Structure 1
Amino acid sequence: MRQIDTERNLAKTIFEELRSGIVSGELVPGTLYSVHDLAARLGVSRTPVREALIQLSERGMVRFERNRGARVLQTSLHDLEEVFALRLLLEVPATFRATGRRESGWVADLSAHLAAMRAAADEHDEAAFMAADRRFHHTINAASGNLRLADHVDSLRDTILLRNTSTVNRSRGMHDILAEHARIHELVEEGQAHAAAEAMREHLRHTARLLLGQESSETGDAEPPFSLDWTAFPG
């Protein structure tokens, strides 16, 4: 048996607490927070707080300002476009590769995440639904054999959460989103790599169009000035 690294566990807990505070809006976008004040609020020393903030800055969630602290960033429409452009470039070929590899076990995990999405949709539980959605995508990306890709895509999703926006019950319902994931799952299970990758591409493009259009109209822009013609996979 090995000793538990309490400092490492503490740093992880602090990171998750700060990340949750940013996503929920408790830590307000545009606001500057000192390491000292955050440490006092959490009842911990400043060192693990600073380490957590460094990780959050790498995810684009905060920006350090010299001798002042860290400012929580606000996601712009252009940021959203860039996030979906990257997701298209990464997740489409990852789906193709994962489906083609047919490693044991992960498809069963994917089925479990889809079932969790379906149960959450039936219960109208958006938080549980989006958590299962996130696990669904991460499972496919990790099954591609590139864990760095999977973790990077997971961090990109935090950028979307920074804007505190969602298409759920605004542009579409949870069962609509579920249907798109069910189609991806079906093609993955059948081993149809090209079709599964194409289904992932259409899912991401559809989500991006709805989200960008929705947010653009709320900011007063008549048309979202973005291009979603990213073709990462030849199809």
Structure 2
Amino acid sequence: MSTTPAHPSGRRPSDLTGDSMTLAYEHVRDAILRGELRPGTWISQVQLAADLRVSRTPLREALRRLQTEGLVQLDFNRRIRVSPLSLPDLEALYSMRLVNEPLAVLLSVPRLTAEETAELESALTAMNASASDGDEEGATEHHRRFHFLLFSHTEDRLRTQVESMWDHSVRYLRIYHNEPSYRLALIAMGRAGHEEILRAAQAHDGRRTSRLVAEHLARTALTVIASVAGAHDPKTIRETLRFVLESAD
């Protein structure tokens, strides 16, 4: 039986053309991030290459890239294991976001154009409307667009790193909280914080926007961790937030 899910664009694996490595990477990465390939799942490279109708060489390149991101593990028999989830990894992930994302925002916000700040407001309005309508996919997409605009003027390496960590966080949410209602509630919980972030960005105040984003990320991290393991002490998150805020003073 095939272990390869359909691509979200609607393309079947047999429809994939062009850069085989990139397409295989995008296909498998999206399946992992969306939870369609579950954490801990073992997959045969031979079967995966057959499912995607690509040769082994571009597939190996795609898997090495996914391994670098921490999404898959490869054993000596060349089997693929979708990386498992863990509370320490989730806490480390949010801690890294707390350091990198506010920095990216600090550098980017003063360079936002009038059109981009208008797009920020539009994204926030659309996000709130989608959340009110119970449209979790729409709310998530507009939420992503809002935050990505805040660091859109950062240099490529930092911006790519922040975007990747964002995607990994969403993977945890999708798997730890399978009900869309929880993820919608999490977005709704941050509504006042998003409004503050928008006003600071519209004023091109990079330092204040950065600080607000750090506090917003920490609140989200603490809420998610408490919902998964209420008895766990998220010391790393608290210490990272303290470090970031003290550095910003």
Q: After superposition, what is the alpha-carbon deviation per residue over 1:67-103, rounded to whole angstroms, capped at 9, x for unaligned?
A: 3322101121111111111111111122222223344
**8 Å CA contact 1:142, 1:149 repeated in 2:** no
TM-score, normalised relative to structure 1:
0.84
CA shift, 1:223, in A, is 3.1
Aligned mates of 2:28, 2:192 — CA distance in 1 = 33
CA shift, 1:168, in A, is 6.5
Corresponding position of 1:188: 201
Q: After TM superposition, list the pairs within 5 Å mapping 1:36-115 onto structure 2.
A: 36-103=46-113, 105-115=115-125
Q: After TM superposition, list the pairs within 5 Å mapping 1:115-134 onto structure 2.
A: 115-134=125-144
Aligned mates of 1:159, 1:149 — CA distance in 2 = 16
Aligned to 2:232, which of 199, 223, 227? Answer: 223
Aligned mates of 1:59, 1:78 — CA distance in 2 = 17
Corresponding position of 2:157: 148
Higher relative contact order (Cα pairs below 8 Å, separated by 6+ residues): 1
CA shift, 1:61, in A, is 0.5
- Equivalent position amino acid for 1:27 in 2: L
- Equivalent position amino acid for 2:195 in 1: A
Aligned mates of 2:170, 2:207 — CA distance in 1 = 30
What 5-or-longer segments of structure 2 have no aligned partner?
A: 1-16
The count of residues paired between Structure 1 and Structure 2 equals 224
Q: After superposition, what is the alpha-carbon deviation per residue over 1:103-143, rounded to whole angstroms, capped at 9, x for unaligned?
A: 45432332332233123212211122222222222222222
TM-score, normalised relative to structure 2:
0.79
Residues 78 and 106 from structure 1, CA distance in 2 versus in 1: closer, same or farther, beyond 3 angstroms? same
Corresponding position of 2:219: 206
Corresponding position of 2:39: 29
What 5-or-longer segments of structure 1 have no aligned partner?
A: 1-5
Aligned mates of 2:38, 2:205 — CA distance in 1 = 44
Q: After superposition, what is the alpha-carbon deviation per residue over 1:191-219, rounded to whole angstroms, capped at 9, x for unaligned?
A: 222321221111011001101111113xx
Aligned to 1:7, which of 18, 35, 54? Answer: 18
Corresponding position of 2:190: 177
